[in-house]
Amino acid sequence: MNEIERLKMDIQLVLGDAEKWLGAMPSLADMDLGLPPTVGKDLEAVRRLRTRAASSLINVALLGGFSSGKSFLVSGLQGGLALTRVMSDDDVSDKFIGLLPSAPIPTTACPASVVPVDASPQVDASGRGFLRVRFSDTDQWEDIGTSVLPPVVAAYAMGDDSDVKLSRKEEHWNRIVAEIEILVSESLLPAKLYDLPGHGSPDPIHDQIIREAMADADCFIYVSTASVSLSDADLELIGYLHRHHVNTGKRVVWVVTAIDRAMELGLDNRPAWTATVARNNRYLEDNCTLLDGKPDRGFIGDGFIAVSPASEARGKFSISEGNEAAGRRLLAESRMDALRRTLSTMIERDTGRRHVAAIASESRALLFPYQRALSERLETERLPVDQLRSQLRDLGNQLRDLTLAVDTTDARLGDILDRRIKSARQGFRRLAPHLRESLESEILSADLRKPRQANQIEVHRTRVIREWMTSPTGPLQIWNWELEAFTSEVLTEVRTAVLASHPLSEFRSSQVIDIDELTAPKSQRSNSDTQDVVQRAVAVVGALTPIGAGVATAFGVLAGPLLLIPAGVTVAATLAYAGITYRKKNATSLDLLRREWIAELDEIASEVERLFAAAAGLAGSEIIGRAIAILAGRRDQLAHSLLVVQERIEQPETATRQDLVARLDPHCRDGEELIAQLTQLAQV
């Protein structure tokens, strides 16, 4: 067992104990402990975290042109592609049935994802999975059903055509589908596979979903068909993906699919698909280069992997028909297992410690409020009555002070955040001159009307911005210092306010508030909390130009634990300038086009600064929002404690109280041990 496997086993064991511990909370309901009212929801969250710890589930986004075989590949990768034989005109034809509809209509296909889940009595994801749909007029998912017929899936995924729409539920006929999701309890890869629309979707909401999916994706699969080699038509998408890789380091797996349709032998007696793979690899080497002109191997990797989901399905069918030898040969020819091994290796290597630490941190934030409530009540029950009397007279003032802190902390911390963002932005006045110095001569010598040369300059520009922002004196490093200092300031202020409000001197300060609570994952906050955060972020950059789709994309990039946001700020700021129009389509003079590119470097620098400020504002506002939530929660908890102490004074020592202490003590000790174990795992 390697170290990563040991860590995954450790976190699963700890979460198993955490599930039992949290599951015991309802048995303490008769004690009126003031526990969070979300115990059922939090218990389910711990169960999901345990599943994530076991599966290392990551998000894989599939990109490529229309009809490149993405949907077919998704079904094949998760073992959801089946071959059946259909009689037509006295002939037998092969028909493939997948989880997702294949051969999508270019103008109607919507984003679709296939998500592995554990077997659950609430959702039957067996067979062909459980279909859910989100429409463009809502953020809520609507359940369709289990193992629905392929025409029904197609009606939601491709259903702008009036005849196709009739296969939907009647109440859905006239609604626009934003995306669909299929939950599967039987899968071959621990990964959410996100099948994005072909490049150039005409629907704006699809473009938004694509941007968000790319921000959330851990890695990408670029899909091309074996019958057509890459051309300049693919360059815009590949160029954008290359720039995204430069900014984020996310890996790309290159796949040529449908090799079963390109098996004819050439003059070299090799299948035609091998020539497609060779041409595609040369295309990547020629167009995806480093500053020195050499191929960017970090982006290209080992090049294209050739596969055939259809051959694998045929092989399984042959084996089921008793033709073992032919079936095994087809399985080997499909090369699908080789692709799965590549993805599995990437999943294991790229998650590992980071995956375990993130789950431990999120789990700790879930358990902490329960452990704190139990500990406070236990300390209260153990204190002598005369000491409680001396504490009680201070509780009213403490409650008043904490209420005042809730009312004033938001504005005070907002002012501090403004100053720290301003400090991080000081260096941006140097960005425009730096871009001109780095790119002007290259732009003047390039033929910008040729897509390959234009793409090379765009990649070069991305690298220049990335290197400038991440340099030891760049805005990202400065912002890292500023955000760390700001987080410490917020933490100190919240700790001070909470400690000042605590009536029990024996209570340990480490149990009051820690960084995990302050930086709780976004998934644990309500929609209203998130809306308040966005409003504060908008206020931070209110003096700048209005926030548009580019900043919305930046907000999506920032999803995840707040301790990871500094890297997200770089992604947001360096990618968002893609929304600027670099080329003037009506320019007829090459010299004019060059001058426009050079002039727009100043605009790009301003846009990067604006998006940087917006992203930094969101990062800080997330922390402020959580701080206010913690103080408000502590205020409510303090009010409850006041009532408990008053009741305790009125009712001296009793056998019932001794029984209460005896019941609470083991729960508190177990909770302390769980928090300690999760803290250790969060630091791996």
Residue 420 lies in a domain: yes
Q: How many secondary structure helices (H) and strands (E) does the chain include?
A: 22, 11
User: Which of the listed ranges 36-45, 199-208, 325-334, 578-587 does the model predict with the highest average pLDDT?
Assistant: 325-334
Helix ranges (H only) for 335-474 are 336-382, 385-425, 431-445, 451-470
- Residue 318: pLDDT band by 50, 70, 90 thresholds? very high
Compute the average pLDDT of residues 184-196.
Answer: 87
Residue 315 lies in a domain: no
Compute CA distances 593 → 240, 465, 552, whole Å: 21, 22, 30
State the DSSP string of 484-553. HHHHHHHHHHHHHHHHHT---TTS-GGGT--HHHHT--GGGS-HHHHHHHHHHHHHHTTTSSPP-HHHHH
Residues 6+ apart with CB under 8 A from 411: none
Name the least confident of 86-100, 166-180, 388-402: 388-402
State the first-to-last Cα distance of the chain, in angstroms, to the nearest integer.
Answer: 17
In a domain, 539, yes or no: yes
- Which residue has better confidence, 3 or 372? 372
Structural domain contains residue 482: yes
What is residue 126's three-state secondary structure?
Answer: coil
Asked if residues 253 and 306 have their Cβ atoms less than 8 Å apart, the reply is: no
Please indicate whether residue 276 or residue 634 has the higher confidence score (pLDDT): 276
- The domain tally of the chain equals 1
- Asked if the model's pLDDT at residue 528 lies above 60, the reply is no
pLDDT at 520: 52
* pLDDT at residue 534, rounded to an integer: 39
Burial class of residue 489, CB neighbours in 10 A (0-12, 13-18, 19+): middle
pLDDT per residue as tens digits for the range 219-251: 899 999 998 898 887 888 888 888 888 877 888
Question: What phi and psi values does residue 70 have, to the nearest 5 degrees?
Answer: -65, -50
For residues 7-35, average pLDDT = 87
3-state secondary structure of 256: strand
Domain contains 487: yes
Is the pLDDT score of 608 beyond 70?
Answer: yes
Among the ranges given (15-24, 39-48, 571-580), the one the predictor scored with the smallest mean pLDDT: 571-580
Range in 56-70, 149-163, 503-517, 543-557 the model is least confident about? 543-557
Helix (H) or strand (E) holding 179: strand 177-184
CB-CB neighbours of 211 under 10 Å? 20
Q: Residue 549 in contact with residue 579, Cβ under 8 Å?
A: yes
Q: Which two tokens stand for residue 5?
A: 């496997």
pLDDT digits (tens, 9 = 90+) for 401-421: 778 888 888 888 999 999 999
Model confidence pLDDT, tens digit, residues 265-287: 877 788 889 999 999 999 999 98
Contact between 378 and 504 (Cβ < 8 Å): no
pLDDT digits (tens, 9 = 90+) for 98-153: 898 875 444 446 788 898 887 777 778 888 889 999 888 887 888 998 888 888 88
Residue 216 has pLDDT above 90, yes or no: no
- Alpha-helical runs (H) found in 578-589: none
Helix (H, G, I), strand (E, B) or coil at 81: coil
**Residue 392 is assigned to a structural domain of this protein:** no
Query: Confidence band (pLDDT; 50, 70, 90) for 19?
Result: very high
CA–CA distances in Å: residue 38 to residues 25, 141, 502, 518, 559: 11, 22, 23, 18, 23
Rounded alpha-carbon distances, angstroms, from residue 466 to 56, 292, 434, 607, 665? 29, 17, 12, 14, 53
Q: Tell me, what's the pLDDT at 108? A: 47
636 vs 25, higher pLDDT: 25
Q: Which domain does 489 fall in, by range?
A: 406-650
pLDDT of residue 463: 82
Q: How far, in Å, CA of 382 to CA of 385, rounded?
A: 9
52, 236, 363 from 21: Cα distances, Å: 19, 53, 13
User: The pTM is what?
Assistant: 0.64
Q: What's the pLDDT at 175? A: 86
Do the strands 191-195 and 112-116 form a parallel or antiparallel pair, or are they unpaired?
antiparallel
Q: Confirm if 223 and 68 have CB atoms less than 8 A apart.
A: yes
Confidence of residue 18 (pLDDT cuts 50, 70, 90): very high
- Top pLDDT among 587 and 370 is at 370
Average pLDDT over the chain reads 78
Average pLDDT over residues 602-629: 86
CA distance 37 to 462: 48
d(CA 192, CA 137): 24
Token pair 């009212």 is at which residue?
37
Lowest mean pLDDT among 9-18, 58-67, 636-645, 668-677: 636-645
Please indicate, yes or no, if residue 415 is contained in any of the structural domains.
yes
Q: Is residue 661 part of a domain?
A: no
Q: Which three-class secondary structure state does DSSP give residue 162?
A: helix
Separation between Cα atoms, residue 39 and residue 232, nearest integer Å: 55
Closest CA to 78 of 158, 182, 8: 182
Look at residue 630 in the predicted model and tell me its pLDDT: 79
pLDDT at 165 over 90: no
